[in-house]
Structure 1
Amino acid sequence: MLTEYRLKTRELHGNKDDAPERSSDQAPILLRGGLKEVEVEDLLAALPPRPTADALVLRCLDSGEASLILMHPPTFKDEYEQFWRNPAAASRAWLSLLFGILACAVWIEHSMNPEIGEAKPPDVFNCYREQCALALISSNCTTPGRYKVEAALMYLGNEYLQSNGLKTEISILVGIVSRLAIMMGYHRDSRIYPQLSPFEGEMRRRMWLILSTIDYFVSWQAGLPTVIPKDIGDTTPPRILLDEDFGPTTEVLPPSRSEAHTPSNITYSVALERILSVANGIAKSSEAQISPERTLHLKKQLDAVWSQVPSYLKPSAAYATDGNDGIHILTLEMTYQRARCTLHRQYLAPQHDIPPYKDFRLECVNAARRVLECQTELFQGILSQPQYRHQAWFGISRSICDCMTAAMVICLEIVSCVKKNEPLAREFSTELIGTLKTSYHCWKSCPRPSPETVKAADILARMLRLMGCCGVESGEFPKAFLPTANANVQHAPLLNQTSPSLEEPINSSFGQQIPDLETYTNFSAFDMINFVSLPLLKKTTPLILVAIRTLTINISRTCGIRRCST
């Protein structure tokens, strides 16, 4: 295990140990060091005027963002009114929570403004984010205390919003927040703490649910193990309750509402955490070869949690009309389909193209296609509407991760189809290339491009151009990536090959001859395709192999993956 994670922290080529440093304004504030404690008076002076603060607080609490179930809006609104009656009496932890809410509201307003064409957050967002961190530090966040976990989670969410690419720093923050939560007993069910009110106990369950979900998401994106140990506690899932069902004065919690008939952010969050829990187990199991029997067992587990998802959170003909529900539906399905890809990826190898392995192979490919279809529906149907763009706290970056995994699966299947050179395989390959093209145009036409979406589009463009597909654009393409004159031209009609042939050998972007593909079997930031099939495909079309290799390296660079020298 240690070797595997060391591989993920080394350069793909060479043995450099120093990563490019990020500018200080990009790094999480809590990790910069040198920050001084601030007095309550300084924090109060940094607040906006009351009318502005009122509007921002309402904007955040009424946004419908699923991650904000860690807040009980009616209760916070009451506390907010009390705060303005005597601001000097507020604790630093509560002020940290307030600044976190203000920052989140600014992000939402920024995201929904159709006149703004860039994803970079405004300066006022960074100002409130910094005040949130300073207040949290000044509250001595390493010791238990009221509002500290809530404030830390809000700060964590805001840092996630402004982060791009690799999420290793966010993973470190998850470790800090989770340690604080465990130290305060959030991992244990609140029924064992008689001093807690029913309301406090239920809110603790919600916060632990959100923290666990964030841990799963970030571990996938950063290529690191989850921070929270498995089976560390016994916290039960929160009840399906609406805000009006309970409050600080509740003496006995009402029974949980029916999941099947209560559309809410709680229902969605519980369903998502269940799927992620099984998906995380699948990812750990897939680090080694999985027997067919074990594959079937894990498949049953995954299908079981998927069957528990309420029908209104599954795809249907009507879901696209509601943006909020549509985002939840697509997020759940992409998470489920991504787990299917991970579970069945080892059966992409050509020797598994026979029963019963062929069914597993088709499971993987069909799941990958569905991931990219969900991406198209998400970006072109929902996020193209400004009023829904803010619903992306833990959505856009993770969907990019899922889509890159799916693209690699489809790329490997295209290799297999080309090798078969059969009419049905050729037709299927054409369909798969069409799926990749659609995905590319989706990233390319993103209404508000970010560094991550731009890079995703460029990766797919390079892959498609290397396969000879027209109608895609990318940066200047090195001649070394183009096919040689003696490439397997018998496959050109299938791939619509249009790239010019060169007399020089195929080289890498580093000017080196492409080595055996076994060299590239040990890296995967998102627990991507483990490339079990590549050593078996060395004699296939060089053009496609270069495409796969280029895509792989670019994905890895995008995520900051490094490789140790051998």
Structure 2
Amino acid sequence: MQNSSTNVNVQVQDQVEATPSPPDQTHAPGYLTPAAVPAPDPAPALSTNEEPISAAVSPADYGAMQSTGGGANYVGSAHWAAVLDGIAELKDHLDNEESHHSDSQGPDLPCPQVTGPQLLYGCPKPADKDEIFSSIPARSVVDRLVSRYFNSFEMSPAVLHSVQFLKEYEGFWENPQATSPIWLGLLFTIMCLATQFEKSRLDPGVQSPAVLSMERELQEMVDTFRLRIPQCLVLGSYAKGGPFVLETLMLYIAAEIFLSSDAEIEIWILMGNTVQLALHMGYHRDPKHFKGLSPFAAEMRRRIWATIVEMDLGLSAQMGLPRMIKHWQTDTQEPSNLQDSDFDSATVEMPPSRLNTDLTPILYRLVKARLMTTIGYIWDFSADLRSYPYTEVQKMDDKLDQARKSIPECLRWHSMARNITDSPQQIMQKVILETIFYRAKIVLHRKYMFLPLAQSASSRRIVLESALKLLDYQHMLQEETQPFCQLYQERWRVSSLVNHDFLLATSILCYYLQHARGVTPQLSESTSFDETIMVSLKRSHDIWLQSSNSSKEARKVVRALAVVLGRVNTPSADSGGESSLVFGLPSTYPSSTTNDYSQETPGGLGSQFPMFNSALMPNWETFADDLISAPMITPTAEWQEMDETVDAMGSLNWPWNSQ
């Protein structure tokens, strides 16, 4: 990585603390170095007049330790749950509610059913190849599942080369016994994912015998395929590495994410194992350093490593913990923007990368990886325990804005009305790039939201506007994933990773209202602005309520919202019903910038991202676009209404506009 890509955290450590520094960053490798997305500049020496700002202003800035039946769980201060725990009025209430809910579940079973990746707990029983083969359906069925996988999951080109896989696939059917156990595990991950996609296409509102029978059959297939994956990995001694190990583990993690409605520590641990194997196999070093690797193998290694880095950051943010891969540990270059038909295992010299205007299947992964590179710096910055000058926050903010502006036009979000000719998959890709951008704004400015400084007004503005922006996307996705709407068939992409961004936005707005109402009322922006937040949270409450039966996270945020919004008579979250209590607030609220990509953030600080004073860790909702497990209800409005709403952030009389 170039000198301009120096790790800002390491530079500041050299200036602030008299501790040994890591290796010279001038020679340290860096991950993904596109010219359009420069890394943060080195921090200025503290010989200037500006002093470091201590952003820790409350106990919540140390994160949150939550006691459970299995011990204690820690989440960093940027995690949504830590934000809620930082609200004094809510903490005891939420703790009591959670305890009551746990008690209502009855005593623990002697042998509780194991959830999460079975690989971590040991396979229920070892299986030989013959037993594994017995679970593979007829070829006609497998063909359809493989086709569904490659045509539905945009992560597929980042993990598998379709042309090469089809050669291996034909070889499998010609001689199944010659196939390695790990490759069989890879096939089971593909079938498991594809079956989940098929299951999500069923209409949850139709309960006919035929549909129910199909749903049971598909779920049985998912369960069988899911069981076989770890059995194949164990049979193939996956811990030693080798061909197809990383690909199988990555898709296995994706399948587990789709099956979970909340963040699961087991998935993060499995991701850690995958990172360790990738390091052991040298994926963190660019293939150009090693002789004997073909151009094809080198390019696929770059694709796989880029995806592992993205998955690591996404899952770590979801768990509220530091990421495992640091940018100065790797020099693997960015993959090329190429169609799978542009190169294969016989390629002697790789063709030049296509332009970013060429929407190949891999382009979305490349654009997301570039944005995630900048977000990774921000994540490390937010997790750093040391203090920094506020100018460093502004520099990081500028870099994030530059990264967003570098997104090609073909992947930029404008409005739902302007996307009606796009495929549902492409629409979701655009939305996800937007949400991870706004989440990053939150993480960057969160600590500076309520500082007694002139700069805190800028951070507070960015945080609040970004939170409202994220909830705009939540509301839009809720309506567009209803039956007969444009994103109905893609609703499985609204996964626990995506929902984590909305949890962050919801928690931050709750935290702001608590401060504005009592702790620091002088920081309230305006009555009309606070009312806008209330209306947005009310709509969000109704969305979370629908999934509260299947999601512990949704259940917790519903309880918090019930307190913040004053819903004394709100139905229990356990009922999963809709609230009939009317707030008396405006029935509509002006959207922020959901419908206009080109609108700039006020104040010239770039994008608008929600942030909290002390308890949130961002999650870039980015690597896997998963499945929302909550049943859908009839939409309350047509999608055109979202596009026709007045842009509230531009039309409201913001307090800072007069400054």
Please state which band the TM-score falls in when normalised by the shorter chain.
0.7 to 0.9
User: Could you say which residue in structure 1 is the equivalent of 2:419?
Assistant: 319
Which of 103, 106, 113 lines up with 2:192 in the alignment? 103
Which of 210, 226, 234 lines up with 1:137 in the alignment? 234
Residue 198 of structure 1 pairs with residue 299 of structure 2: no
Shift of 1:109: 0.3
Which of 347, 356, 362 lines up with 2:461 in the alignment? 362
Tell me how far apart the structure 1 counterparts of residues 257 and 573 of structure 2 sit (CA, whole Å): 28
- Structure with a larger share of its residues in helix: 1
Task: Normalising by structure 1, report the TM-score.
Answer: 0.76
Aligned residues of 2:181 and 2:235 also touching (Cα < 8 A) = yes
Residue 228 of structure 1 pairs with residue 228 of structure 2: no
Alignment CA distance shift 1:5-1:409 (3 Å): closer
Alignment CA distance shift 1:495-1:411 (3 Å): farther
Could you list the per-position Cα deviations for residues 199-256 of structure 1 after superposition, in whole angstroms to 9, with x for gaps in the alignment? 1211111111111111011001112221224322211111001122122222211111
Aligned residues of 2:197 and 2:492 also touching (Cα < 8 A) = no
Deviation larger for 40-49 or 392-401: 392-401
Aligned residues of 2:555 and 2:574 also touching (Cα < 8 A) = no
Could you list the per-position Cα deviations for residues 443-474 of structure 1 after superposition, in whole angstroms to 9, with x for gaps in the alignment? 4457xx8723x752662464245433599644
Alignment CA distance shift 1:274-1:249 (3 Å): same
Alignment of 1:147-162 (within 5 A): 147-162=244-259
Q: Secondary structure at the match of 2:203?
A: coil
Tell me how far apart the structure 2 counterparts of residues 283 and 229 of structure 1 sit (CA, whole Å): 11
Residue 245 of structure 1 pairs with residue 342 of structure 2: yes
Aligned residues of 1:327 and 1:382 also touching (Cα < 8 A) = no
Q: Secondary structure at the match of 2:352?
A: coil
Aligned residues of 1:440 and 1:457 also touching (Cα < 8 A) = no
- Counterpart of 2:154, as a letter, is E
Alignment of 1:173-184 (within 5 A): 173-184=270-281
Residue 380 of structure 1 pairs with residue 479 of structure 2: yes
User: Could you say which residue in structure 1 is the equivalent of 2:651?
Assistant: none
User: Could you say which residue in structure 2 is the equivalent of 1:280?
Assistant: 376
User: Could you say which residue in structure 2 is the equivalent of 1:451?
Assistant: 550
Which of 118, 127, 136 lines up with 1:38 in the alignment? 127
Aligned residues of 2:268 and 2:315 also touching (Cα < 8 A) = yes
Shift of 1:78: 2.3
User: Could you say which residue in structure 1 is the equivalent of 2:17?
Assistant: none
User: Could you say which residue in structure 1 is the equivalent of 2:526?
Assistant: 425
* Gap runs ≥5 in structure 2: 1-58, 74-101, 103-107, 207-211, 576-582, 588-611, 621-659
Shift of 1:523: 5.9
Residue 262 of structure 1 pairs with residue 358 of structure 2: yes
Shift of 1:15: 11
User: Could you say which residue in structure 1 is the equivalent of 2:408?
Assistant: 310
Task: Normalising by structure 2, report the TM-score.
Answer: 0.66
Which of 132, 147, 156 lines up with 1:58 in the alignment? 147
Which of 444, 451, 468 lines up with 1:343 in the alignment? 444
Tell me how far apart the structure 1 counterparts of residues 265 and 221 of structure 2 sit (CA, whole Å): 25
Which of 169, 176, 190 lines up with 1:87 in the alignment? 176
Alignment CA distance shift 1:134-1:389 (3 Å): farther
Higher relative contact order, chain-length normalized (CA < 8 Å, sep 6+): 2
- Counterpart of 1:275, as a letter, is L
User: Could you say which residue in structure 1 is the equivalent of 2:165?
Assistant: 76
- Counterpart of 1:62, as a letter, is N
Tell me how far apart the structure 1 counterparts of residues 298 and 503 of structure 2 sit (CA, whole Å): 39
Deviation larger for 64-73 or 417-426: 417-426
Alignment CA distance shift 1:393-1:180 (3 Å): farther
Deviation larger for 457-466 or 198-207: 457-466
Which of 67, 71, 80 lines up with 1:11 in the alignment? 67
Tell me how far apart the structure 2 counterparts of residues 64 and 467 of structure 1 sit (CA, whole Å): 38
Tell me how far apart the structure 1 counterparts of residues 243 and 525 of structure 2 sit (CA, whole Å): 63
Alignment CA distance shift 1:82-1:227 (3 Å): same
Alignment CA distance shift 1:116-1:83 (3 Å): farther
Shift of 1:38: 3.2
Residue 408 of structure 1 pairs with residue 507 of structure 2: yes
Q: Secondary structure at the match of 1:250?
A: coil
User: Could you say which residue in structure 2 is the equivalent of 1:331?
Assistant: 432
Tell me how far apart the structure 1 counterparts of residues 119 and 373 of structure 2 sit (CA, whole Å): 28
Shift of 1:301: 1.8
Q: Secondary structure at the match of 1:142?
A: helix
Tell me how far apart the structure 2 counterparts of residues 91 and 268 of structure 1 sit (CA, whole Å): 31
Deviation larger for 227-236 or 328-337: 227-236
Residue 219 of structure 1 pairs with residue 320 of structure 2: no
Tell me how far apart the structure 2 counterparts of residues 320 and 470 of structure 1 sit (CA, whole Å): 41
Q: Secondary structure at the match of 1:26?
A: coil
Aligned residues of 2:159 and 2:247 also touching (Cα < 8 A) = yes
Tell me how far apart the structure 2 counterparts of residues 423 and 85 of structure 1 sit (CA, whole Å): 70
Aligned residues of 1:59 and 1:105 also touching (Cα < 8 A) = yes
Alignment CA distance shift 1:389-1:24 (3 Å): farther
Aligned residues of 1:240 and 1:256 also touching (Cα < 8 A) = yes
Q: Secondary structure at the match of 1:240?
A: coil
Aligned residues of 1:93 and 1:136 also touching (Cα < 8 A) = yes
Shift of 1:281: 2.5
Tell me how far apart the structure 2 counterparts of residues 7 and 265 of structure 1 sit (CA, whole Å): 39
Tell me how far apart the structure 2 counterparts of residues 244 and 203 of structure 1 sit (CA, whole Å): 14
Tell me how far apart the structure 1 counterparts of residues 121 and 62 of structure 2 sit (CA, whole Å): 24
Aligned residues of 1:186 and 1:208 also touching (Cα < 8 A) = yes
Tell me how far apart the structure 1 counterparts of residues 537 and 257 of structure 2 sit (CA, whole Å): 28
Tell me how far apart the structure 2 counterparts of residues 62 and 313 of structure 1 sit (CA, whole Å): 18
Alignment CA distance shift 1:123-1:281 (3 Å): same
Q: Secondary structure at the match of 1:316?
A: coil
Alignment CA distance shift 1:381-1:388 (3 Å): closer
- Percent identical among aligned pairs is 26
User: Could you say which residue in structure 2 is the equivalent of 1:440?
Assistant: 541
Alignment CA distance shift 1:523-1:341 (3 Å): closer
Alignment CA distance shift 1:258-1:429 (3 Å): same
Alignment CA distance shift 1:455-1:398 (3 Å): same
Aligned residues of 1:106 and 1:124 also touching (Cα < 8 A) = yes
* Gap runs ≥5 in structure 1: 478-491, 497-519, 529-566
Deviation larger for 425-434 or 29-38: 29-38
User: Could you say which residue in structure 2 is the equivalent of 1:301?
Assistant: 399
Alignment CA distance shift 1:342-1:393 (3 Å): same
Aligned residues of 1:437 and 1:464 also touching (Cα < 8 A) = no
Tell me how far apart the structure 2 counterparts of residues 32 and 73 of structure 1 sit (CA, whole Å): 32
User: Could you say which residue in structure 2 is the equivalent of 1:544?
Assistant: none
Tell me how far apart the structure 2 counterparts of residues 522 and 150 of structure 1 sit (CA, whole Å): 37
Aligned residues of 1:29 and 1:133 also touching (Cα < 8 A) = yes
User: Could you say which residue in structure 2 is the equivalent of 1:556?
Assistant: none
- Counterpart of 2:252, as a letter, is Y
Q: Secondary structure at the match of 1:11?
A: strand
Shift of 1:347: 3.2
Root-mean-square deviation (Å)? 3.7
Alignment CA distance shift 1:345-1:40 (3 Å): same
